[in-house]
């Protein structure tokens, strides 16, 4: 954890909880049993950080060892288990919370990579994996093609820019909590703006080549 | 390995062999070629321990380095390769063997996690992953949604209880081989009882919320 | 990297680039967006080495930390992004390049495993995973059953033989670059011959057992 981003622990808890809700909802839709719903909550809420920790050698990963984060994921899954008929209608609210989670995970993940002495390019990749990896695991475990790879929303692109900004700031002199918070807000704003204005990534090139 | 559970090496061999047979059978059903059948045997028999070892930092994992266990998995796959028309009819027998494998893998995996100094919650998760992870890899590699997440059988729940019991006993003073054996038998009995009496985990909540 | 195989860095670059093109092409066919196309290029070009490095504890893996290899993968994906209408017609050429990549990755991966002190059996497995793992990740991320497991082509078998030969030579006295190059050529030739003469691995046994 990067203790000196203000409210970072709070934001990380929100991120894990929202991620877990998205995983549990996917499991509910697939008619998984209650064990599967909790596993999907865990995988979606903590899977990005778990991949990050395995890749940088921070084992055991916080996703299996930090009981506070794991409890958060299980509570998120439990809430979705009982309230999914209502919460599905609050979809827009959850998408905005998820944008916050993406922003926090990306910046926190990038900084953790840098703290473990990775190369700049590795820090950026690790940051994006922290932000988007939980959703990829969720989709693979429910038999879906990862939505982040094909839905043409700007989901990973804000994370990529945020991870690159964080890495650049790191090598320009260790960034202050305030500066990192600004990056978090920037990723969040870019993600929300892409939803609001329906910005899309292009599909395969169709030019006359 | 946890050398002081009586017959533990024997049980682990049985577990790997039975897991490998389940993987090879899934590959046969999908009309995989002979290489794919061996890979699935390996993944289903040793995949749970492989995930465990990567998560706790015990690399290279026994799943790629221990030639006795790997040979066992390949022999299990070979047996299924030649005898699948007959063995499919012995399904009930194989399900009981698989319950034994689940019980052994869970307790052994939990203890190995604890020996590597994980937190209690990590030991429980690692134990369940050791027990159920091979089947998850098998299902993903054959293009199926992991059966443990949605079929409502009590498969992971006995593992979860066994891993929790093992962890509690560990922190109450290092458990004797006899005590660990009782936990193994308990997980096995719970799994077999759930099959015999058709106990099921509930699906998504349908209450009026 | 195994700097003393002549032209090894060149061959590795070719391997990553060709692998990335195969991943990007799979993404184009699934109508992924441009981000997904780059991710698939990265996963297919560098995924085998990434799995290898996680399994032998060489973290962070070169797949996230070596900017030259990552740039190569992104360029490979970019080329396929723009030129896929033409390149799909050059399929035979790409299959031959891919055979070269398989050969290089297998031998280099096996040697890296041995350099990290793995057991002989682990070195062989690690070599095959290095050679074939990128394609498996590509297929899983595009929602396909891994083609290497079921298409009955001799793809992994040449890799297996090459990894075994490399390991045997290693324990017979550290092999010279020339000897390793011969193994690379052998794997390549076996792969191309299996395509030319349509050699196939058998499917499930259908005997009267």
pLDDT digits (tens, 9 = 90+) for C90-104: 778 778 888 988 999
Bridge partners (DSSP) listed for residue A153: A200
Whether pLDDT at C12 is above 90: no
> Given its phi and psi angles, is residue B2 left (phi above 0), alpha (psi -120 to 50 degrees) or beta?
beta
Give the count of beta carbons closer than 10 Å to the beta carbon of residue A24. Answer: 32
Tell me how many residue pairs between chain A and chain B have CB atoms under 8 A apart.
91
Whether pLDDT at C3 is above 80: no
Q: Do A35 and B149 touch (CB under 8 A)?
A: yes
Question: CA dist A87 to A41, A46, A79, A144, B37, Å?
Answer: 15, 21, 9, 22, 43
In a domain, C206, yes or no: no
Q: Do C145 and B30 touch (CB under 8 A)?
A: yes
Touching C (3+ Cβ pairs <8 A), the chains are A, B
Could you identify the residue written with the tokens 């989709």? Answer: A139
pLDDT tens for each residue of C60-115: 999 999 999 999 999 999 999 998 888 777 778 778 888 988 999 999 999 999 99
pLDDT tens for each residue of A167-185: 999 999 888 888 998 999 9
Lookup: tokens for C123: 């070195």
pLDDT tens for each residue of C195-206: 899 888 888 887
pLDDT of B63: 96
User: A15: helix, coil or strand?
Assistant: helix
Whether pLDDT at A206 is above 80: no
Query: Which residues of A sit within 8 Å Cβ distance of C?
Result: 54-57, 113, 116, 118-122, 125-126, 136, 140, 143-146, 148-152, 156-157, 160, 200-205, 207, 209
Distance from the Cα of B110 to chain C's closest Cα (Å) equals: 20
pLDDT tens for each residue of C23-51: 999 999 999 999 999 999 999 999 999 99
pLDDT tens for each residue of C116-140: 999 999 999 999 999 999 999 999 9
In a domain, B206, yes or no: no
Lookup: tokens for A184: 């978090």
Q: What is the mean pLDDT of residues B14-35?
A: 92
In a domain, A46, yes or no: yes
Rounded Cα distance between A12 and A107, Å, is 11
Q: How confident is the model at residue B204 (pLDDT cuts 50, 70, 90)?
A: confident
Q: Do B150 and A60 touch (CB under 8 A)?
A: no
Helices (H), chain B: 8-29, 34-56, 62-65, 67-87, 91-115, 120-141, 147-150, 156-171, 177-196
Chain A partners within 8 Å of B140 (Cβ): 140-141
Q: Do A156 and C86 touch (CB under 8 A)?
A: no
pLDDT of B89: 77
pLDDT of B5: 61
Q: Do B64 and C118 touch (CB under 8 A)?
A: yes
C190-207: buried (b, 16+ CB within 10 Å) or exposed (e) per residue?
bbbebbeeeeebebbbee
Q: What is the mean pLDDT of residues A39-61?
A: 96
pLDDT of C209: 46
Q: Do A64 and B55 touch (CB under 8 A)?
A: yes
pLDDT tens for each residue of B72-121: 999 999 999 999 888 877 778 778 888 988 999 999 999 999 999 999 99
DSSP assigned state of A180: H
Q: Which of C118, C122, C150 sits opposite B33 (nearest CB)?
A: C150
pLDDT of C9: 77
Lookup: tokens for B144: 């199926």
DSSP assigned state of C192: H
User: What rounded mean pLDDT belongs to chain A?
Assistant: 90
Question: CA dist C181 to B152, C94, C101, Å?
Answer: 53, 21, 13
Rounded Cα distance between A90 and A84, Å, is 10
pLDDT of C85: 84
Bridge partners (DSSP) listed for residue C153: C200
pLDDT of B203: 84
Cβ C36 vs Cβ C27: under 8 Å: yes
Q: What is the mean pLDDT of residues A70-76?
A: 97
Distance from the Cα of A113 to chain B's closest Cα (Å) equals: 17
Give the count of beta carbons closer than 10 Å to the beta carbon of residue B175. Answer: 21
Rounded Cα distance between A84 and A26, Å, is 10
Residue A166, domain extent: 8-196
Structurally, chain A folds into a number of domains equal to: 1
Which residue of chain A is at minimal alpha-carbon distance from B208?
A: A85
Q: What is the mean pLDDT of residues B189-208?
A: 85
Contacts of C172 by beta carbon, 8 Å cutoff, 6+ apart:
none
User: C116: helix, coil or strand?
Assistant: coil
pLDDT of B6: 58
Rounded Cα distance between C50 and C207, Å, is 40
Chain A partners within 8 Å of C86 (Cβ): 209
Q: Do B204 and A67 touch (CB under 8 A)?
A: no
Chain A partners within 8 Å of B148 (Cβ): 35-36
- Nearest Cα neighbor of A164 from C80, A156, B204 is A156
Rounded Cα distance between C116 and C111, Å, is 9
Which residue of chain C is at minimal alpha-carbon distance from B83?
A: C209
Whether pLDDT at A2 is above 70: no
Lookup: tokens for C21: 């093109």
Q: Higher pLDDT residue, C208 or A172?
A: A172
In a domain, B123, yes or no: yes
pLDDT of B1: 47
Q: How confident is the model at residue B209 (pLDDT cuts 50, 70, 90)?
A: very low
Question: CA dist A101 to A162, B187, B198, C9, Å?
Answer: 13, 38, 40, 40
DSSP string computed for B89-147: GGHHHHHHHHHHHHHHHHHHHHHHHHHTT--HHHHHHHHHHHHHHHHHHHHHHTT---H
Rounded Cα distance between C22 and C132, Å, is 12
DSSP assigned state of C88: G
Q: Of how many residues is chain A composed? A: 209
In a domain, A94, yes or no: yes
Rounded Cα distance between A41 and A138, Å, is 8
pLDDT of B207: 60
Q: Higher pLDDT residue, B205 or A134?
A: A134
Bridge partners (DSSP) listed for residue A200: A153
Number of helices followed by number of strands (H, E) in chain A: 9, 0
Dihedrals phi, psi of C160, to nearest 5 degrees: -60, -45
Whether pLDDT at B57 is above 50: yes
In a domain, A206, yes or no: no
Q: What is the mean pLDDT of residues C153-177?
A: 93
Q: Do A33 and B152 touch (CB under 8 A)?
A: yes
User: What rounded mean pLDDT belongs to chain C?
Assistant: 90
- Nearest Cα neighbor of C104 from C34, C17, C22 is C17
Q: Which of B28, B59, B140 sits opposite C55 (nearest CB)?
A: B59
DSSP assigned state of B186: H
Cβ B42 vs Cβ B74: under 8 Å: yes
Query: Which residues of C sit within 8 Å Cβ distance of B?
Result: 54-57, 113, 116, 118-122, 125-126, 136, 140, 144-146, 148-152, 156-157, 160, 200-205, 207, 209
CA angle B72, B73, B77 (to 5 degrees): 115
Question: CA dist B57 to A43, A54, B28, C188, Å?
Answer: 19, 9, 33, 35
pLDDT tens for each residue of A20-47: 999 999 999 999 999 999 999 999 999 9
Q: How confident is the model at residue C17 (pLDDT cuts 50, 70, 90)?
A: very high
Q: Which of B31, B39, B70 sits opposite C203 (nearest CB)?
A: B31
Whether pLDDT at A15 is above 80: yes
Query: Which residues of A sit within 8 Å Cβ distance of B?
Result: 27-28, 30-37, 39-40, 54, 57, 59-61, 64-67, 70, 81-86, 140-143
In a domain, A204, yes or no: no
Q: Which of C36, C65, C84 sits opposite A122 (nearest CB)?
A: C65
- Nearest Cα neighbor of A131 from A101, A86, A157, A93 is A101
Q: Higher pLDDT residue, B93 or B153?
A: B153
Rounded Cα distance between B176 and B169, Å, is 9
In a domain, C173, yes or no: yes
Q: Do A32 and B149 touch (CB under 8 A)?
A: yes
Whether pLDDT at B7 is above 80: no
Question: CA dist C81 to A159, A206, B33, Å?
Answer: 22, 9, 32
Q: Do A141 and B144 touch (CB under 8 A)?
A: no
Whether pLDDT at A209 is above 90: no
């Amino acid at each position: 954890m990067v203790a000196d981003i203000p409210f970072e622990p709070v934001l990380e808890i929100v991120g894990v909880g929202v991620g877990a809700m998205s995983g549990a909802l996917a499991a509910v839709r697939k008619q998984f049993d209650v064990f599967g719903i909790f596993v999907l909550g865990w995988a979606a809420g903590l899977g990005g950080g778990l991949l990050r920790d395995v890749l940088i050698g921070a084992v055991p990963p916080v996703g299996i060892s930090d009981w506070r984060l794991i409890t958060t994921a299980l509570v998120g899954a439990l809430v979705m288990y009982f309230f999914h008929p209502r919460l599905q209608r609050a979809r827009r609210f959850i998408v905005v919370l998820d944008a916050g989670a993406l922003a926090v995970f990306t910046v926190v993940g990038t900084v953790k990579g840098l703290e473990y002495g990775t190369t700049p390019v590795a820090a950026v990749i690790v940051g994006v994996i922290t932000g988007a990896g939980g959703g990829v695991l969720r989709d693979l475990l429910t038999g879906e093609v990862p939505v982040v790879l094909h839905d043409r929303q700007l989901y990973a692109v804000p994370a990529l820019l945020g991870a690159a900004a964080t890495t650049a700031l790191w090598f320009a002199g260790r960034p202050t909590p305030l500066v990192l918070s600004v990056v978090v807000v920037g990723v969040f704003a870019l993600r929300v703006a892409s939803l609001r204005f329906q910005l899309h990534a292009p599909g395969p090139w169709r030019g006359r080549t």
